[in-house]
Structure 1
């Protein structure tokens, strides 16, 4: 059978162990201490693991963001921080832009382009405002080379805002003939009549008041006129500046349509931040327009000639340069919600601004009746003026 004590020693005893009150308290304390120690160790391990995971996730997210933005990743959704679209990196380059503009401003021979002069009288300022307003409205939808001869002939016919205000719509349309979009001429006439008849021949000095008071004058035109003529620090964002800033800030979002509000406001805010810190507001706005028109072109931009290349986010990303501002997307609240996925993995400056799929032109059918009266010497046609709105 063997030794009974040895056999019993290998067997678990079912006999209850009775402890004194002192021993029981000591054991409970020891168990609590062991439990607390285990909890602390587990908490530290968890904290270390979470901290490591955060660091790894942050690093992975940063690498992923820059891989996506520089085209090294096949992921087409450009997740990044809203800080990527800040104009802060451009603020120190404003003097570079103005120095570049001073060298090129007279190359294209625009007769309306003159330096700001603070010594002009109120009457002379209004004359300058009239000249700039005419040029800006003519330049809508029309190339500069086409506008210059039309502008010169217009100023010969209507040299002052008062002279224009006395003209008829037939006179105005005759001088406008060939420029197209005749509604622009009608708006210009209406604005001149408002200035002469209600504003004592003087143009408003601020963009907000000009946009509010003059018919046919929008946000861009008001900002351009008031910055150029009155040196008001108001932004002027036309199509060229939209394209330029969308690249400088790497904004890949629609600039037209129902989803364009947020990206356009971001561009206008950047334009305001840039012009707000300069003493040459008009020259600065014209420099942005000139740069977008001649250097940062829709296709084949000449990036090497750009005075803002050091602050251009699109150029940096196209060259595979990591943009440190993308690292700030540590919180979900900081992520950009404007930008749309890229259509491919290529990384080029011209992917900005976002390409918009053009809608097919609407086709309509209509019947036209031509009434002609003919004599031996002449032919006469019956004409009816088109409505103010609609087709």
Structure 2
């Protein structure tokens, strides 16, 4: 049985109180303030007010295992805290624990030079700016990162970047100042040594946000997802991360913890959906008896509870293995949770929508937006099929006859 550390338990209590006192009561305020803004990519004032309160209570940058910059928590210690934050769409940013900034800050903390940390990591840690990650491209199957076509070519003391990215989450936000872009510096190198990652300020000439991409009709403002072109964009050679040919390596290091975060947030929103379903069926009557007394409804509630517990235990196991034996040894478990958690959340939220009826699919409930987000995570950070292939390959490895 997993046992959380005392520090984790204390932070859980603080987070739960903060959610009850500040997050849930202000979800509606956030929506109202955002609707009143002239520019949808501006920041509702309530968000900064909540961030200030979170900082004051020491609930800030909890995701970073580096004690110099973050809370110094392990993946296993942070996982249950991430679950709590996942219960609300506005919570992760309030605690400065929102994607893609978390992954980008991890990259900068782990691989950045002192100059890069000073310019970009510090303001990100302070919550003063936001960032995006440019990996996915519209013209290639980006689930295979070796397909990426964006060119990063060195000319003297500069790199020249040309390419088109999309689903650069966060790039629409007016506070987004930095893109970490993945592209090819040497198409003739070994397959996994062709790619590099480079820091690109979004105000650099040649960077153009072409359009905003919606998710099942949701704009996810003020965060948003963008299609971005890089047309002869020039940045200093000092902007490269870790060195040429290290991009694939950096991406693998970034995605491991990120998948834990995504999965725990999905478990959090699934828990909230199940709670909403239980409340709904306890108060609604149909065909002469409460919905809670209907056999089919009770079966669905049971299925949801079972699936949530399975997903949580598997995710905690993956987090524990990452801490104890490393990401490489835990890659099967990481792949498994990335398949299990989004599918589980889609199932649980869908059942909650069903018992809510018309309310479940409109803006008066969080369920429809939560479902749209959960469904996208069957694609983000690699589609189900890629992760299943990884699992199958590792499962079959001991039976190979050509070894």
Structure with higher Rg: it is 1
Tell whether the structures are fold-level matches, with TM greater than 0.5. no
Which structure would you say has the larger RCO, counting Cα contacts within 8 Å and 6 or more residues apart?
1
TM-score by length of structure 1 reads 0.25
